[in-house]
Amino acid sequence: MFYKSTRNSNLNVSGAQAVLKGISDDGGLFVPSEIPAISLDDISGLAKLDYCDRAKFIISKYFTDYTEEEIEFCTKNAYSTKNFDTDNIHELTQLGDNMYLLELWHGPTCAFKDMALQILPYFLTTAAKKCNFDKELVILVATSGDTGKAALTGFCDVDGTKILVFYPEDGVSAMQKKQMTTQDGKNVGVCAIKGNFDDCQNGVKKIFTDDSIKAHIDSNNAAFSSANSINFGRLLPQIVYYISSYATLVDTQQINLGDKINIVVPTGNFGNILAAYYAKNMGLPVNKLICASNANNVLTDFINTGVYDRNREFFTTISPSMDILISSNLERLLYMLCDDNDEIIKDWFSKLSSCGKYEISDDVKAKLQNDFVAGYCDDNATKSTIADIFNEFSYVADTHTSVAIKVYQDYVKNTGDTTKTVIASTASPYKFCSSVLDALSVDTAAMSDWDMLEKLSEISSTEIPAPLAELKSKEVRFTDSIGRDDMSDYVKSFI
């Protein structure tokens, strides 16, 4: 197994090199040279294993250059009850006959990003050792809210690394902001950008390929890497939990081995749902992959029409981690659907950067629609879904998960599909407390952030996650805020 670039099919690097670099020099994304297969027997074997060993099995199929001991070192350190509040690492909660919420937010920052960002630092430091890489790694992160904190937590005081996070000043929740700006550690930096997530992501991508910054970082004996889902080391751990959830459904006799399931994912940068697509292509029995968006519905239109057009109004919603108009990981999917044709990908993505728009061919569109269904809902529908789910099941879902639930409910209404369905539940409701309470008709006007946490705890009869409760006594360390054109200079001084 080796890795090539979506913009250069002749490239051949190892898994460790792909993780270290994050993004290819040609601006493309690293993709595995083939999709490894798993059999139903493999899945049946996984059903008997714990999460760590499930992860070890899947990861070793992709990182063939890592030894078994190295992978085990990574999984054991990442997926322990030191970091997660459940032995299972993820939970699977059934709501109604066919719907299962795959709760991926039991880690230290209460969002699914922990599933990958708890292990990525181990992948990276192991890769550095394997490649005799003696430079300091500077991790640059653009975040729509959750990646930032999860990456800061994962890399905090990791030897040989430094991490700098950019977030959109007005584009994250109060809790997300507090989580990031109070981060401990001597190797961390956090800075607000006067712009939206796309500005942050574009700025970071530009810095990765900017020659003057490259010279600067070289002369400091350092190198950039990425903790965003453009790094394949972020995607791989996400493949694990889809396969793991299926194994759990088999183990608990909710389904028979070989039965197909649907998977619904609240989508932003297309990383999480792409991981589900990899799982399907490895052999996981999956019927439809359902891509759920909020009012920023560029992906819904794309999947339904084959035209990607980012020239549209940008909405700030109550599901901020999905407020994205340029979904990076789509490039990996299209590369696979085009049978690894890097010329076509270069053409489409240069159109995207020059006019914000491209159209895929009919045969690629047909393949896309064979696997994917797409839908979206606005803030009002999200809120009524939160209230409905609470009234029916006494369960409080966060705003992002509720977008997915609503899109799934619409899909069932349209199709009558009774296939058992796993919905990725991407964040704890406590992270988006004020929107969730608002949806439950609680007047929060006079409440502090901490009052809100307590109120939600009372209503939902669940405990406030410890990492959020602890923020109350933490001091804000980072207050910088800069224009999107000042990111390069900021990075230089950070190095």
Ligand X SMILES: *Cc1c(COP(=O)(O)O)cnc(C)c1O
User: Which chain residues interact with ligand X by CB under 6 A?
Assistant: 111, 113, 146, 229, 266-272, 321-322, 400, 426-427
> Both tokens of residue 7?
């913009």
Q: How far is the CB of 322 from ligand X (least distance, A)?
A: 5
Q: How far is the CB of 242 from ligand X (least distance, A)?
A: 13
Q: Where are the alpha helices (DSSP H) in 220-292?
A: 232-251, 271-282
Q: Where are the alpha helices (DSSP H) in 322-448?
A: 330-337, 342-355, 362-371, 379-393, 399-415, 433-439
- Between 272 and 421, name the residue whose CB sits nearer to ligand X: 272
Q: Where are the alpha helices (DSSP H) in 131-270?
A: 146-155, 174-181, 197-208, 211-219, 232-251
The one catalytic residue in 56, 113, 288, 406 is 113
Q: How far apart are the two ends of the chain, measured CA to CA in Å? A: 34
Residues 6+ apart with CB under 8 A from 342: 5, 6, 7, 8, 9, 28, 335
> Both tokens of residue 63?
């990182």
**H or E segment to which residue 41 belongs:** helix 40-46
Q: How far is the CB of 299 from ligand X (least distance, A)?
A: 9
**H or E segment to which residue 481 belongs:** strand 481-483
DSSP 361: -
Cα–Cα distance, 184 to 475 (Å, whole number)? 10
- Between 54 and 400, name the residue whose CB sits nearer to ligand X: 400
Please state at what angle helix 51-62 crosses helix 232-251, rounded to 10 degrees: 130
- Between 321 and 435, name the residue whose CB sits nearer to ligand X: 321
Contact 389, 405 (CB under 8 A): yes
Q: How far is the CB of 320 from ligand X (least distance, A)?
A: 9
- Between 270 and 408, name the residue whose CB sits nearer to ligand X: 270
Q: How far is the CB of 429 from ligand X (least distance, A)?
A: 11
Please state at what angle helix 330-337 crosses helix 271-282, rounded to 10 degrees: 30
Contact 421, 95 (CB under 8 A): no
Residue 289, SS3 per DSSP: strand
Residue 473, SS3 per DSSP: helix
Q: How far is the CB of 268 from ligand X (least distance, A)?
A: 3
Contact 185, 175 (CB under 8 A): no
Cα–Cα distance, 185 to 202 (Å, whole number)? 26
Element counts in the chain: helices (H) and strands (E) = 22, 16
Task: Check if 113 is active-site.
Answer: yes
- Between 14 and 382, name the residue whose CB sits nearer to ligand X: 382
372 - beta bridge partners? 289
- Between 99 and 291, name the residue whose CB sits nearer to ligand X: 291
Q: How far is the CB of 343 from ligand X (least distance, A)?
A: 27
- Between 189 and 266, name the residue whose CB sits nearer to ligand X: 266
Cα–Cα distance, 128 to 124 (Å, whole number)? 6
Q: How far is the CB of 362 from ligand X (least distance, A)?
A: 26
- Between 7 and 113, name the residue whose CB sits nearer to ligand X: 113
Give the pairing of strands 261-266 and 286-293: parallel
- Between 180 and 255, name the residue whose CB sits nearer to ligand X: 180
Rg (CA), the chain: 21
Residues annotated as catalytic (active site), given as ranges: 113
